[in-house]
Structure 1
Amino acid sequence: MTRVLVAPDKFKGSLTADEVARAVVRGLTSEVPDVDVRALPVADGGDGTLAAAVAAGFERVPVTATGPTGTPVDGAYGRRGDTAVVEMADVSGLSRLPGGRLAPLTATSRGTGELISAALADGARRVVVGIGGSACTDGGAGMLQALGARLLDADDREIGPGGEELGRLSRVDLDGLQPVLSRAEVVVACDVDNPLTGPSGAAAVYGPQKGADEDQVGLLDRNLGRLADRVAAATGRDVRNSPGAGAAGGVGFAAMAVLGATLRPGIDLMLDLLDFATHLRDVDLVVVAEGSLDEQTLHGKAPVGVARMAREAGAEVVAVCGRTTLTGEQLRGAGIDAVYALADVEPDPDRSMAHAGELLERVSAELARRHLTPRGRR
């Protein structure tokens, strides 16, 4: 009997990775009731990272933390042994902005630091931080403050939250940084190589997505440079131009410069964390999934990372998606043998998103007919 592993990412704005997995499994079993199928939702370090870790056996540990605008939010981290998984988007993400109102100058990463602090206090000695989907451009200043660093103005007073406040920064004092950080490993899931500042930096490239206009982008870029100067003075090293320093509004910079973090491609890190190779043993068919299979997918997104490992293990790889703009050649180059898109069943994007679950079941049933039945395999 064919053994199937369903390893989807989320359909952003429509279904979580777990909901996608359950819909695909329902579709497969509606056509082949006795199919040997397992589900393992995945993520690439952005939204859904915590959920993927929990689905793989991590314990969800609730934490109340500071949201991007200062309002407390109910967040969590994942724990398994001495390893913790922190998802920045869970507390410092765009989805946590009250009413969806963007706050380009004042949004803070403090809540992410609070999650890391809680995990360390709970005994974690390896902290994996997924930093996609952030709402802030504060250079990781809020995160550092939550971990004991003091960011001081000319009067030795702590500066406030957000990238705008970095313009008042005079000195960075790391004496109060939590000592346990020196004994812990921090690994950041990061899929971009932007430096902290300049035309390819955090403010210029990602600031507009977070609501910054042209003048605010210039202000934030200058302030991030000021932060880098003060951090270099405190640490003796300058990593502002390191690839990934500009990730998540500069959180990548703070993590490397002060926490000693290493940056790894998000999907590679997550697949290692989920012990994905073990789940691939004796699997014949792997079903990957993402809302949109497009050019971005080819640059380190979850379906391609999963497909690469699956092909190395000798499994066939089939994708389900909301839509795809990739050519057959591009898909084959990514290790994907066939694609089943909701758009082929329901071309209206709004209706497709509104009924994504039932449409996924339909295309997954078709997938089963073609790949899991003797007639389909002929």
Structure 2
Amino acid sequence: MKILFAPDSFKGTMSSMRVIELLADAAKQTFPDSQLVTVPIADGGEGTVEALVTAAGGQYRTVNVTGPLGEKVSAVYGVIGGKTAVIEMAQASGIMLLKEEEKNPLHTTTYGTGELIKAALDQGIRRLVIGIGGSATNDGGIGAAQALGVSFLDRNAADVGYGGRNLCNITRIDASNMDPRIKECEISVICDVSNPLTGLAGATYIYGPQKGAGRECLELLESGMENYLQVIKQCIGMDMNQVPGSGAAGGLGAAMVAFFGASLKSGIDTVLDFVDFESLLKDVDLVVTGEGKIDSQSAYGKVPVGIAKRCKSKGIKVIAIAGCMGKDARRVFDYGIDSIMVTVNNNLSLEEALLRAGEDLFDAADRMFRLIKLGMDLKT
């Protein structure tokens, strides 16, 4: 039997490569003669650099940049073929860099993401693939733009500063001092959402609460984002609410398009094309994918469904392994996933579940392969 392992990372617990290792160990116990094909997958968030660098045999670069609250953090990006940089904004401006009590989108900035881009430019790279999932920010991407020379000015012609709290103070945008190398770049921004910049379905109201915003904070941030939307219209001539995905990463999608001329692309489809996923499916009998949680949102651009869609047309069976199932998780069956195996098998606190994540994933994979073997034996 030939099995392809293509999971996403389990956010905050295991990288996709670690998930693959555990799946492979479990598979070999039940199917010792099986042929295993492995490829880490991501959708623009955590694990994107690892997935693309692993698939293409690239290299890693480490730089010190500004974290979401202004502290210095060590961030990694990938270089492929000496010409393409793969960047995760989560490495510099991600929510995983903050403790729960530190989350506050009024203060968090994407400045470090701009510094990551600048580091790649300094290496002579002019093709950028930037994943913008997992952000801790709601600053409209002004921090990233500020790091590359764009000025956001208040009514006194002074710089407004950093963080979402300052969006309401912007009256003018001056891009005359933007790093000129940006205009030489081909920039692809990959994400798994299509939200507009403002409104009830926009960056603030949909994703602000998970970044630490309460009701009053949300109203302040949305007011600032509405102001930002209008100033971009006046100074750049673009209505960012007409650009699907402009609300991604707290509005970083809007900044990447408006100031850097980037193209917004589906995360999972871009990654699958990059790793030449179709060729990996040759003679495969079973695909095992997965992510930390499968729920109703998994049908919208997440890794398991993106993979299942490509397998379904070829008649290849797909199993998704996940930490847990949320509301309407069964919707993924409509997109080509044949079954879901959940790893948590006991009543555990969140802390216990995180500590046992690897052990429980191996146990779930072992049970999964035993069931597959049982089915094969019954068939004969």
TM-score of the two chains, using structure 1 as the length reference: 0.91
Share of identical aligned residues, percent?
40
Could you say which residue in structure 2 is the equivalent of 1:114? 115
Q: Which amino acid letter does the alignment assign opposite residue 75 of structure 1?
A: A
CA distance in 2, matches of 1:112, 1:21: 29
Could you say which residue in structure 2 is the equivalent of 1:67? 67
Q: Which amino acid letter does the alignment assign opposite residue 377 of structure 2?
A: R
C-alpha contact (below 8 Å) 1:46/1:131 kept by paired residues:
yes
C-alpha contact (below 8 Å) 2:86/2:128 kept by paired residues:
yes
Secondary structure in structure 1 of the residue aligned to 2:260: coil
CA distance in 2, matches of 1:359, 1:303: 19
CA distance in 2, matches of 1:286, 1:106: 42
In structure 2, do the counterparts of structure 1 residues 302 and 150 end up closer, same or farther at CA, with 3 Å as the change threshold?
same
Secondary structure in structure 2 of the residue aligned to 1:240: helix
In structure 2, do the counterparts of structure 1 residues 153 and 352 end up closer, same or farther at CA, with 3 Å as the change threshold?
closer
Pairwise CA distance, 1:223 = 1.7
Residues 221-260 of structure 1: matches in 2 within 5 Å?
221-260=222-261
Could you say which residue in structure 2 is the equivalent of 1:27? 26
CA distance in 2, matches of 1:326, 1:307: 19
Residues 46-65 of structure 1: matches in 2 within 5 Å?
46-56=45-55, 57-65=57-65
Could you say which residue in structure 1 is the equivalent of 2:370? 369
Q: Which amino acid letter does the alignment assign opposite residue 74 of structure 2?
A: D
Pairwise CA distance, 1:347 = 5.0
Pairwise CA distance, 1:352 = 4.5
Secondary structure in structure 1 of the residue aligned to 2:6: strand
Secondary structure in structure 1 of the residue aligned to 2:226: helix
C-alpha contact (below 8 Å) 1:127/1:187 kept by paired residues:
yes
C-alpha contact (below 8 Å) 1:109/1:141 kept by paired residues:
yes
C-alpha contact (below 8 Å) 1:342/1:352 kept by paired residues:
no
In structure 2, do the counterparts of structure 1 residues 375 and 328 end up closer, same or farther at CA, with 3 Å as the change threshold?
farther
Q: Which amino acid letter does the alignment assign opposite residue 80 of structure 1?
A: I
Could you say which residue in structure 2 is the equivalent of 1:186? 187
CA distance in 2, matches of 1:42, 1:332: 20
Could you say which residue in structure 1 is the equivalent of 2:163? 162
C-alpha contact (below 8 Å) 2:193/2:301 kept by paired residues:
no
Could you say which residue in structure 1 is the equivalent of 2:320? 319
Pairwise CA distance, 1:318 = 1.8
CA distance in 2, matches of 1:338, 1:103: 38
Single out whichever of 295-304 and 115-124 deviates more from structure 2. Answer: 115-124
CA distance in 2, matches of 1:237, 1:294: 34
C-alpha contact (below 8 Å) 2:196/2:243 kept by paired residues:
yes
Could you say which residue in structure 1 is the equivalent of 2:79? 79
C-alpha contact (below 8 Å) 1:44/1:270 kept by paired residues:
yes
Deviations 1:301-357 (Å, cap 9, x if unpaired)? 1011111122334422122222335779634322122332224x4354645443222
Pairwise CA distance, 1:203 = 2.0
Pairwise CA distance, 1:29 = 0.7
Residues 1-378 of structure 1: matches in 2 within 5 Å?
2-56=1-55, 57-81=57-81, 82-97=83-98, 100-325=101-326, 330-343=331-344, 345-348=345-348, 350=350, 351-371=352-372, 374-375=376-377, 378=380
Q: Which amino acid letter does the alignment assign opposite residue 278 of structure 1?
A: S
In structure 2, do the counterparts of structure 1 residues 331 and 172 end up closer, same or farther at CA, with 3 Å as the change threshold?
closer
CA distance in 1, matches of 2:332, 2:172: 50
Q: Which amino acid letter does the alignment assign opposite residue 61 of structure 2?
A: V
In structure 2, do the counterparts of structure 1 residues 210 and 352 end up closer, same or farther at CA, with 3 Å as the change threshold?
closer
C-alpha contact (below 8 Å) 2:130/2:189 kept by paired residues:
yes
Deviations 1:148-173 (Å, cap 9, x if unpaired)? 21222333332211111223323211
Between the two proteins, the alignment pairs up a number of residues equal to 376
Single out whichever of 333-342 and 71-80 deviates more from structure 2. Answer: 333-342
In structure 2, do the counterparts of structure 1 residues 377 and 29 end up closer, same or farther at CA, with 3 Å as the change threshold?
farther
- RMSD value, Cα: 2.3
Single out whichever of 227-236 and 126-135 deviates more from structure 2. Answer: 227-236
CA distance in 2, matches of 1:147, 1:357: 40
CA distance in 1, matches of 2:270, 2:93: 21
CA distance in 2, matches of 1:12, 1:53: 17
* Ranges in structure 1 where 5+ consecutive residues have no aligned partner: none
Pairwise CA distance, 1:180 = 2.2
Single out whichever of 126-135 and 277-286 deviates more from structure 2. Answer: 277-286
In structure 2, do the counterparts of structure 1 residues 234 and 376 end up closer, same or farther at CA, with 3 Å as the change threshold?
farther
Pairwise CA distance, 1:37 = 0.6
Secondary structure in structure 2 of the residue aligned to 1:139: coil
TM-score of the two chains, using structure 2 as the length reference: 0.91
Deviations 1:231-256 (Å, cap 9, x if unpaired)? 33332323234222211111111111
* Ranges in structure 2 where 5+ consecutive residues have no aligned partner: none
CA distance in 2, matches of 1:20, 1:166: 40
Single out whichever of 324-333 and 152-161 deviates more from structure 2. Answer: 324-333
C-alpha contact (below 8 Å) 2:295/2:329 kept by paired residues:
no
C-alpha contact (below 8 Å) 1:290/1:321 kept by paired residues:
yes
